[in-house]
A and B are shown apart, each in its own frame.
Chain A
Amino acid sequence: MASNSIKLLAPDVHRSLAELVAKRLGLRLTDADLKRDPTGEVSFSIGESVRDQDIYIIMQIGSGVVNDRVLELLIMINACKTASARRITAVIPNFPYARQDRKDKSRAPITAKLMADMLTTAGCDHVITMDLHASQIQGFFDIPVDNLYAEPSVVRYIKENVNWKEAAIISPDAGGAKRAATLADRLDLNFALIHKERARANEVSRMVLVGDVTNKICIIVDDMADTCGTLGKAAEVLLDHGAKSVIAIVTHGVLSGKAIENINNSKLDKVVCTNTVPFEEKMKSCSKLDVVDVSSVLAESIRRLHNGESISYLFKHYPL
């Protein structure tokens, strides 16, 4: 793989992350052109030869137009494949349909598995993603998947921006306990858990706090923030239990539906998201949002993957 070079591809919208990665790697984004006709059909052309190159397609999948992005990604991968690229890596920090990962009721689709199959079918050779909702999704693939962690970036953010010695790490649900616990261990902080009972998807009925948060700055840690209803309620529970202030740090700030409204009305001081999901526009309408840049992690993993070096360093450390 040494003789061929990296080519970075990104769709025409939401290029911000790809541009940051490209800048970090000292490369430019390959000229490519995506066209959509009025019904949404996508056609794609690459502006230069990709024969025998190492292709990285960086795709930010935000809320609302998931299916468009997915089809665009598949078509881009397939185009590179038919253009004789040597290896195609899909860089999808926010893996779509990650929550549809099990047959939770009769005849429910396991769409995450379908996504995995479709990526493989399109010709993808490798996937880089970040903080998968369930890391078992890696097992859905027949190709290697590198699941990066936002944790080192988050640790750095906390150390730089929060009076972290007085903080406590909170997991908003039992499923995220492990993620929060590792972060708490890493920072040597207290850990608390909110147990919630879900009546329906995106709706929360009752919350119980397990642990002590009196006079602490509470940092709620989660992998995904969708409508932010949970976060808002969690903040109230924490403040009721004597917390000094509450901030939330989430990896994928999908922030769909009434998210902005919910955040503005909530008692959260700050909601910090990584830039895996494009939310620049939302930041304008919500002063409580803040961003953690993970482009350096992605860039470094691309560099390492291209050179055949180990990636596991990035699981624990923030690249310099």
Chain B
Amino acid sequence: MGEIVIFGGDSHPELVKMICDNLAIHSSKVQMGKFSNGETSVSVGESVREKDVYVIQSGCGHVNDTFMELLILISACKTASASRVTAVMPYFCYSRQPDIPYTNKGAPLISRSNEERPEESDNSTSTGLTTRKPGAESPFEESESSIRSDSGESEDSKQSSSFSSAPNSNDIKKSVSFSRIPVIPDGKEAGSTKADAGELFNAQNAGYKLWVAQAGTLIANLLTTAGADHVITMDLHDPQFQGFFDISVDNLYCKPLAQKHIQFGIPNYKEAVIVSPDAGGAKRATSIADSLKLSFALIHKERRSQLLKGPPGATLSSGGTFSTNPKPLVSHLHSEEMHHSNSASKYVQTTMLVGDVRNKVCIIVDDLVDTSYTITRAAKLLKDQGAAKVYALITHGIFSGDALSRIRQSAIDKLIVSNTVPQHETVAYLGKDKVDVMDVSRIFAEAIRRVHNGESISMLFEHGW
């Protein structure tokens, strides 16, 4: 393997410099720019023939631009005969699942299509029950067609089979009436407000559940296509993401660094409680709690159609009620009965705190904060439950929109965030004493050194650097 060459993208020049300083080399010359029509131009200033090239570009700033820059730079190095190209992405863009807002309130308002679905309200099938148990006597005893013939099978398979075939309108009608998938009761009554759009969207395409495309595999494949031979990143939102790649991926952990910050930065840390703001991050939080021998608490969010009692020992706190239109969740067969209760029926969002935080220092641990809704709500809940102090420990602080002002107004006493994404603004906005920035450049520098020399990097997972 030839000598090491490091290129830095435009997204995070400061981190590039710090990594290079740690490796005691200079980053090589590369010019990024844009043509007047908005296309990205890249010119590589030094020879890379038979060299071991590392391209550092965090997935921050304007993501699509920085990602294209990275791809073009990798491809340029590859066509310029580099022996190996490694993409170093401290924050890996497009790695998280789209949030709920994408399908809930933010769903598109789409005008109803002109073609009417088969008339389905006032006929005999409306006696059908959505709660029919498998094996129970079919209410369609007298009616013909596919459903009848399938009656030996379980209900679920029946639904799907009648969906997939649906040879005539009669069958469609029935499959719709059996579906638990949201259906709008009637075209005219269907909510035409924006808030209903998502549900309307679903309902229009009865049987088609709205799903959001996952870009993960695509992004992985694009990197491979551009010519990356190796990827180094940190705290991937999904550990499974590694499996999307056909090339080797080193997922570094911020955990050792985070532990150090807890041990040295938080007074009397042995009394602290590690809190995971959602169930998804529980594993990450428990591993920190375990290695520091701290106690652990979990915040669990639940959406039920009515207020339920939490499990014994759990502290319940109502996270505010909000009304949604329940119509779509009700099969149209029941629309008439449900119409009366429509206005009264509400969803209740329940936030449960599992664990004791009274008079304790709480450390909320999360891998990624974008809108900051989750952690600010979590902080409020913790303070409500008597927490003495609330720290937030975050690997990737993207802080888009007014996330920062939300954090400033929130109950979070101190933010500890790594510099995988530039944090100048955060520090400037929140003030130096409210923000602690963890420096990940040493970990990345050491990973690059070890990868270049073909040494093991697993030591970095546990002990940091």
Contacts and interface: CB of A to CB of B under 8 A. Distances in A.
A42 interface: yes
Contact of A109 (B65, B72, B210): B72
B88 to A, nearest CB: 19
Contacts of B308: none
Interface stretch (A32-40, A147-155, A292-300): A32-40
Contact of B64 (A40, A78, A257): A40
A78 B226 contact: no
Contacts of A2: none
B218 A75 contact: yes
B204 interface: yes
A44 interface: yes
Contact of B222 (A64, A100, A118): A118
B283 interface: no
A45 B228 CA distance: 29
B35, B44, B205, B401 — most chain A CB neighbours (10 Å): B35
A39 B37 contact: no
Nearest to B400: A38
Contacts of B39: 66-67, 96-97, 99-100, 111
Interface in A170-213: 201-202
B43 A114 contact: no
Interface stretch (B74-82, B134-142, B311-319, B330-338): B74-82
Contacts of A122: 218, 221-222
Which interface residue of B48, B65, B213, B226 has the most chain A CB atoms within 10 A? B213
Contacts of B36: 63, 202, 226-227, 256-257
Interface residues of B, number: 60
A43 B98 contact: yes
Contacts of A42: 64, 215
A284 interface: no
B93 interface: yes
B213 A82 contact: yes
Contacts of B76: 107-109
In this complex, the interface size class of chain A, counting residues with CB under 8 Å from chain B, is: 35 or more
B94 interface: yes
B73 interface: yes
A314 B400 CA distance: 48
A13 to B, nearest CB: 13
Interface in B1-46: 35-45
Nearest to A75: B215
Contacts of A38: 370, 400-401
A74 B72 CA distance: 15
A49 interface: yes
B106 interface: yes
B63 interface: yes
A170 B397 CA distance: 55
Interface stretch (B107-115, B184-192, B288-296, B430-438): B107-115
A240 interface: no
A221 B367 CA distance: 55
A82 B215 CA distance: 10
A117 B225 contact: yes
Contacts of A99: 39
B213 A254 contact: no
Given A31-B201, A41-B63, A67 B79 contact: no
Contact of A118 (B71, B73, B370): B71
A52 B39 CA distance: 34
Interface string B406-429: 000000000000000000000000
Interface in B59-102: 60-65, 67-68, 71-73, 75-77, 79-80, 93-94, 98, 102
A43 B201 contact: no
A119 to B, nearest CB: 10
Contact of B67 (A71, A121, A201): A71
Nearest to B221: A121
Contacts of A97: 39
Contacts of B103: 45
B423 to A, nearest CB: 15
A51 B98 CA distance: 23
A261 interface: no
B79 A110 contact: yes
A217 B102 CA distance: 55
A310 interface: no
A311 interface: no
A117 B42 CA distance: 18
Contact of A35 (B37, B93, B102, B217): B102
A66 B75 contact: no
A160 interface: no
A44 B63 CA distance: 16
A41 B218 contact: no
A78 B218 contact: yes
A136 B315 CA distance: 67
Interface of A: 12, 28, 31, 33, 35, 37-49, 62-68, 70-71, 74-76, 78-79, 82-83, 96-97, 99-100, 103, 105-111, 113-114, 117-118, 120-122, 201-202, 226-227, 254, 256-257
Given A28-B113, A40-B64, A42-B64, 10 more contacts: A35-B102, A47-B201, A49-B205, A64-B38, A65-B38, A108-B76, A109-B72, A110-B75, A118-B225, A226-B37
9 shortest interchain CB distances as A-B pairs = A79-B213, A109-B76, A38-B400, A107-B44, A257-B36, A107-B80, A43-B98, A67-B68, A64-B38
Interface of B: 35-45, 47-48, 60-65, 67-68, 71-73, 75-77, 79-80, 93-94, 98, 102-103, 106-108, 110, 113, 201, 204-205, 208, 210-215, 217-218, 221-222, 224-226, 370, 398, 400-401
7 contacts: A31-B110, A33-B108, A43-B98, A103-B79, A106-B44, A114-B75, A118-B71
